[in-house]
């Protein structure tokens, strides 16, 4: 089974099993990784924003849809290897994937 390492906002790393054909967001939720996913994958938020650590891996991912691009534009702390976690489906080729969680999301602004 592929494994994925999440790098949390405080720098802590969590390596977890990531079954094929579920989204990275679902992998995070199964493992109590604090990735929000407010709209549960319906491309109506940007709280599942993740940053792919390796540019080459990012380049190999299927292209984001226009809807994903639009939502990413709203994400806090957007980088050039940002994606929405709910749109990345796990498969064997993603074994060893390393993703960072952004320090904040737009739904969690500090009052």
- Please state whether beta strands 3-7 and 97-100 pair in parallel, antiparallel, or not at all (unpaired): parallel
Q: Is 108 within 8 Å of 46 (Cβ atoms)?
A: no
Q: Which of 44, 74, 104, 108 binds ligand FES (CB under 6 A)?
A: 44
Helix (H, G, I), strand (E, B), or coil: what is residue 34?
coil
Q: How far apart are CA 102 and CA 51, in angstroms?
A: 7
Stretch that binds ligand FES, among 3-11, 45-53, 90-98, 101-109 (CB under 6 A): 45-53
Q: Is 95 within 8 Å of 5 (Cβ atoms)?
A: no
Report, in Å, the least distance between residue 93 CB and ligand FES. Answer: 21
Q: Which of 7, 38, 57, 89 binds ligand FES (CB under 6 A)?
A: 38
**By the rule CB under 6 A, 99 interacts with ligand FES:** no
Report, in Å, the least distance between residue 11 CB and ligand FES. Answer: 24
Nearest residue to 88 via CA among 56, 50, 54:
50
Q: Which residues bind ligand FES (CB under 6 A)?
A: 25, 37-41, 43-45, 47-48, 71, 84, 86
């Amino acid at each position: 089974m592929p494994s994925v390492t999440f790098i949390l906002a405080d720098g802590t790393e969590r390596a977890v099993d990531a079954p094929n054909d579920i989204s990275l967001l679902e992998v995070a939720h199964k493992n109590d990784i604090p990735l929000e996913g407010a709209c549960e994958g319906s491309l109506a938020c940007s709280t599942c924003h993740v940053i792919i650590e390796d540019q080459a891996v990012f380049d190999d991912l299927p292209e984001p849809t226009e809807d994903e691009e639009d939502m990413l534009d709203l994400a806090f702390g957007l980088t050039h290897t940002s994606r929405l976690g709910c749109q990345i489906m796990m498969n064997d080729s993603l074994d060893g994937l390393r993703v960072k969680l952004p320090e904040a999301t737009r739904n969690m602004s500090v009052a």
